[in-house]
Amino acid sequence: MPLYFLTCICLFWIPGIALIAANWRRLDRLQRRSFWILAAIMAVVTFGMEYVYLWADIWDFEKRYPLLGLEIMGAPIEEFTFWFGATPFVLGVYWTLQAVFPSLQKKSIATPARAPSRRKSAGRRRKRGA
Amino acid sequence: MPDRPRFNRRADGAPSYARGAKWPAWALLAIPFLLVILLLNKVAGSRVRWTACWLTVLLFEAVMIPVEHKAILLGHWVYNENRILGPLFWGIPIEEPLIYYIFPPVFVILAYETINGLLSGSVKFDWRSDIERGLKMLGWTPPASAARRAK
């Protein structure tokens, strides 16, 4: 059984595609375009990275469990299903979190400080007067 | 590509191998990632919903740690002991949870917000000054900008 390939499919591709599909309608034209451009960039970047890491001899594959047998320049095709699947998964989670918890849509940085409420300031005034 | 290595067994049964000179390639090769992240953060950091971003990283870590633990035990990935820092977390090289489960999700989100900002026109990418600012943050003033300032 090609366990590595199945792991990548179940771990990244199925949840990633499901999350992207669930969010797709909420996205405007530019966001959809950004997603495809990013997916293309990440495919190129991760393709290159795989060979840099293999060249640096950081890891290898024991092949105790059968791989699909397809290789691209010495790297098993499962590696690319792993790399390419991470982008839709990460963006899908990022969008879903914002959809499920609308408070996360507020930018967490550079949030303006809250002005003190009227009641509090009125209370303070009264104290001062006393 | 190097030839197939000879695998040994770790105490937990996971395969491993040690080959070549010892240098922490796995950690050092993350530096370009970090530089690009710093640059993208300068450009589009204000567009990122950071709480959602860090929750995504947390979820990514929570999913990946058990999967990688199992994948290493099964031999899907076998790390060269001479190319990692050495300490292991639950059988996983420490670089993974500390670097590679954090940087790639942040990189993906920052890159997405940058591209979206560029397409919508709300982000302007001035390559030269953004790279100069990034380098200055790292404590290095490029000679070209120093000469310009002197003028």
Distance to chain B for A50, nearest Cα, Å: 11
Question: How crowded is the C-beta side of B31, counted as CA atoms within 13 Å?
Answer: 6
pLDDT of residue A36: 96
Token pair, residue B61, equals: 């870590």
Please give chain A's pLDDT, 130 residues, in tens: 777 788 878 888 899 999 999 999 999 999 999 999 999 999 999 889 888 998 998 988 876 666 777 788 878 887 788 778 889 999 999 999 999 998 888 654 443 444 444 555 555 555 555 4
Residue B128 has pLDDT above 90, yes or no: no
Distance to chain B for A57, nearest Cα, Å: 7
pLDDT of residue B98: 93
Q: What is the DSSP code (8-state) at residue B29?
A: T
Residue in B51, B52, B74 closest to A64 by CB:
B74
Residue of A nearest to B26 (CA): A58
pLDDT of residue A110: 40
Higher-scoring residue by pLDDT: B32, A117: B32
pLDDT of residue B62: 93
pLDDT of residue A29: 94
Residue type, B2: P
Q: Which residues of B touch A56 (CB under 8 A)?
A: 25-26, 29, 83
φ, ψ of residue A104 to 5 degrees: the values are -75, -15
Query: CB contact, 8 Å: A61 with chain B?
Result: yes
Q: What is the DSSP code (8-state) at residue A104?
A: G
Local confidence band at B144 (pLDDT 50, 70, 90 cut-offs): low
B57-86 exposure pattern, b = at least 16 Cβ within 10 A, e = fewer: bebbeebbbebbbebbebbbbbbbebbbee
Where exactly are the structural domains of chain B?
A: 36-146
pLDDT of residue A111: 39
Interstrand relation of B88-89 and B92-93 (parallel, antiparallel or unpaired): antiparallel
Higher-scoring residue by pLDDT: B9, A126: B9
Residue type, B114: T
Local confidence band at B149 (pLDDT 50, 70, 90 cut-offs): low
Distance to chain A for B135, nearest Cα, Å: 22
pLDDT of residue A127: 54
CB contact under 8 A, B115 and A37: yes
- The pLDDT tens digits of the residues spanning B86-121 come to 899 999 999 999 999 999 999 999 999 999 999 998
- In Å, the largest CA–CA distance within chain A is 84
- The pLDDT tens digits of the residues spanning B46-85 come to 999 999 999 999 999 999 899 889 888 888 888 999 999 9
Q: Would you call B92 helix, strand, or coil by DSSP?
A: strand
- Opening angle at CA A8, ends A3 and A10, nearest 5: 90
CB contact under 8 A, A42 and B79: no
pLDDT of residue A106: 61
Query: CB contact, 8 Å: B44 with chain A?
Result: no
Is-contact B14 B72, C-beta < 8 A? yes
Distance to chain B for A59, nearest Cα, Å: 4
pLDDT of residue A42: 92
Is-contact B70 B143, C-beta < 8 A? no
CB contact under 8 A, A87 and B108: yes
Residue of B nearest to A87 (CA): B108
Token pair, residue B44, equals: 């589009």
- Opening angle at CA B44, ends B39 and B45, nearest 5: 85
> Chain A 66-125, CB below 8 Å of chain B: which residues?
73-74, 78, 86-87, 89-91, 93-94, 97-98, 101, 104-110
pLDDT of residue A109: 40
CA distance A20 to A92: 5
The DSSP H or E segment spanning B93 is: strand B92-93
CA distance B100 to B122: 30
